[in-house]
């Protein structure tokens, strides 16, 4: 019996340490866990005082696909108990120092003043206050006191005003996320100090921050250690920046700005790039064939620009591509059949261009496709009967083309279809009776065609 009890204690000890190590290795992964040393009294008191500066409001945190379901983490904080056991708090095992605080989506409402007891936690390495409501307060300079801080996330937390220079005083920062605070302003001098001092930075997200005063040339000074750069909707403008030194990038998002010119050839060096979002800018010229050399790409969005010409044949090399968005450009010519070789594609949008010719029969190979939009082009011919192979398809839009012939009955075998748009074409004949099999169909648009006969009734 004694040996069994010893083994049970040993197993519990082992599982605890594995759980702690696994949690501490992930960015913004905070685990409340028991520590060998209890929480330091002064830090426990600081947390209690911090908690008391906020109220809990049900509308202080959003709940959508970007954030987990909010709940008041601080309600588990009981004065006089070990704070290392509190929800959202992580302690260092050997010392009991608070090194992690994750209060993301905690329904917190209030203001963080310069004398807030939060700044009495000097050992913090990870701080996540995202998705709360800090009542349009400013990010105070005292955030620059956390010299051990490696991860700082203030995403979507209703801050406003100037981002303080002191944020650049955090030399250990690996990840900085100030995004989704549209009333924050980042001036050129502060931005230059950030990129000059934060040399260890790997992840930077400033999306939806006002950077209208920052010239695109300032991006040349970003740390070459960056693997993720998100500057979406920052009011940036000018020529596409020279960021050729950021060859370690896995994710690049410069969407919803006002960049002009062509995509530079230096992007060819980004061999590790998985995600590239350049949509909603004023980029022009042809889509460069060099993008076809980025073989790790899984998501590419070039929509809402002024690209012309054809889809490069080099795209057939993008075998990992999961989503491709090229809509709202001036692209023309026929869709190359090579797109049918991109078997990992799940989402394809080529709408609002000037493509012509027939829809390639090679699309029958895109068996993972669940979203296909070819609307507002000049396609002719019939819908390929081979579309019946697209068993995962739930959205199909072929509106406003020059398609003709009968609507193939094979579409009735796409049982996951939820939306089907075939209006503004030249289809004739009857609506296929097989449509009665589309039990998931919620939207069906067939107007402005030459259809006749009876409408099949779905039972």
pLDDT tens digits, 390-400: 999 999 999 99
- Distances from the Cα of 167 to the Cαs of 5, 95, 114, 127, 192, in angstroms? 51, 27, 14, 13, 12
The pLDDT of 206-223, averaged and rounded, is: 94
* pLDDT at position 201 over 80: yes
pLDDT band at 459 (very low <50, low <70, confident <90, very high): low
Reference 103, options 73, 76, 64; nearest CA is: 73
61 CB-contact burial (10 Å; exposed 0-12 / middle 13-18 / buried 19+): buried
* Residues 49, 50, 52: CA angle, nearest 5 degrees: 65
The pLDDT of 282-286, averaged and rounded, is: 97
Q: Return the exposure string of 279-315: e unless at least 16 CB atoms fall within 10 Å of the residue's CB, then b.
A: bbbebeeebbebbbbbeebebbbbbbbebeeebbebb
Per-residue pLDDT of 344-386, as tens digits, reads 999 999 999 999 999 999 999 999 999 999 999 999 999 998 8
Reference 336, options 346, 347, 348, 344; nearest CA is: 348
Sequence-ordered list of residues with C-beta below 8 angstroms from that of 390, at least 6 positions apart, any chain:
363, 364, 366, 367, 369, 372, 414
* pLDDT at position 293 over 70: yes
pLDDT score at 35 = 42
The pLDDT of 407-430, averaged and rounded, is: 96
Provide the residue ranges of all domains of the chain, joining segments of one domain with +: 17-185, 192-237+247-254
Q: Name the DSSP class of 139.
A: -
- Distances from the Cα of 217 to the Cαs of 145, 164, 243, 446, in angstroms? 30, 21, 9, 50
Locate 6 and state its tokens: 């010893």
Q: Please report where in the chains the tokens 């904080």 appear, as a residue.
A: 77
Higher pLDDT, 371 or 220: 371
Locate 164 and state its tokens: 């303080």
Please, which contacts does 46-51 make with residues 24 or more away whose CB atoms are closer than 8 Å?
46/117, 46/118, 46/120, 46/121, 47/77, 47/83, 47/86, 47/89, 47/98, 47/101, 47/117, 47/121, 48/77, 48/79, 49/117, 50/116, 50/117, 50/118, 51/77
- Distances from the Cα of 279 to the Cαs of 245, 256, 324, in angstroms? 22, 6, 11
pLDDT band at 33 (very low <50, low <70, confident <90, very high): very low
395's enclosing H/E stretch is strand 395-397
Q: Tell me the average pLDDT of the chain.
A: 91
pLDDT score at 19 = 31
pLDDT score at 458 = 63
* pLDDT at position 30 over 90: no
* pLDDT at position 8 over 60: no
The pLDDT of 404-414, averaged and rounded, is: 95
CA–CA gap between residue 319 and residue 137 (Å, rounded):
47
The pLDDT of 48-74, averaged and rounded, is: 93
Per-residue pLDDT of 262-282, as tens digits, reads 999 989 999 999 999 999 999
pLDDT band at 64 (very low <50, low <70, confident <90, very high): confident
The rounded percent of the chain whose pLDDT value lies above 90 is 85
pLDDT score at 391 = 96
Q: The pTM is what?
A: 0.89
pLDDT score at 199 = 93
| CATH code of the domain made up of 17-185 | 3.80.10.10
pLDDT band at 36 (very low <50, low <70, confident <90, very high): low
């Amino acid at each position: 019996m004694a040996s069994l009890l010893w083994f049970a204690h040993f197993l519990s000890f082992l599982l605890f340490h594995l759980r702690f190590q696994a949690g501490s290795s992930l960015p913004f992964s905070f685990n409340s866990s028991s520590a060998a040393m209890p929480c330091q009294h002064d830090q426990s008191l600081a947390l209690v005082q911090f908690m008391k500066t906020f109220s809990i409001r049900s509308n202080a945190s959003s709940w959508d696909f970007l954030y987990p379901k909010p709940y008041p983490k601080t309600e588990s904080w009981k004065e006089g108990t070990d704070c290392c056991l509190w929800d959202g708090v992580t302690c260092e095992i050997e010392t009991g120092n608070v090194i992690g605080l994750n209060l993301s989506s905690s329904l917190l409402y209030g203001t963080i003043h310069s004398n807030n007891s939060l700044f009495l936690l000097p050992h913090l390495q990870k701080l996540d206050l995202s998705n709360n409501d800090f009542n349009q307060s400013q990010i105070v300079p005292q955030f620059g006191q956390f010299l051990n801080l490696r991860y700082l996330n203030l995403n979507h937390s209703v801050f406003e005003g100037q981002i303080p220079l002191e944020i650049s005083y955090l030399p250990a920062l690996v990840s900085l996320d100030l995004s989704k605070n549209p009333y924050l302003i980042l001036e050129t001098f502060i931005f230059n100090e950030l990129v000059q001092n934060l040399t260890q930075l790997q992840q930077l997200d400033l999306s939806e921050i006002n950077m209208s005063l920052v010239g695109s040339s300032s991006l040349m000074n970003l740390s070459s250690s960056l693997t993720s750069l998100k500057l979406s909707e920052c009011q940036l403008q000018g020529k596409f920046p020279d960021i050729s030194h950021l060859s370690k990038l896995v994710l690049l998002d410069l969407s919803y700005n006002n960049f002009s010119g062509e995509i530079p050839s230096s992007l060819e060096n980004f061999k590790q790039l998985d995600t590239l979002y350049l949509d909603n800018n004023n980029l022009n010229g042809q889509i460069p064939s060099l993008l076809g050399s980025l073989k790790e790409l899984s998501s590419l969005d070039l929509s809402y620009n002024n690209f012309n010409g054809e889809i490069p044949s080099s795209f057939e090399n993008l075998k990992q591509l999961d989503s491709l968005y090229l809509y709202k450009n001036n692209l023309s010519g026929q869709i190359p059949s090579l797109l049918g070789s991109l078997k990992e594609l799940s989402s394809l949008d080529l709408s609002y261009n000037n493509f012509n010719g027939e829809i390639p029969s090679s699309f029958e190979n895109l068996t993972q496709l669940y979203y296909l939009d070819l609307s507002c082009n000049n396609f002719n011919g019939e819908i390929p009967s081979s579309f019946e192979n697209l068993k995962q398809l739930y959205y199909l839009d072929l509106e406003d083309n020059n398609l003709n012939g009968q609507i193939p009955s094979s579409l009735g075998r796409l049982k996951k279809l939820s939306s089907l748009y075939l209006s503004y074409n030249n289809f004739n004949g009857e609506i296929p009776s097989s449509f009665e099999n589309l039990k998931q169909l919620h939207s069906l648009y067939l107007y402005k065609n030459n259809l006749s006969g009876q409408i099949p009734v779905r039972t």
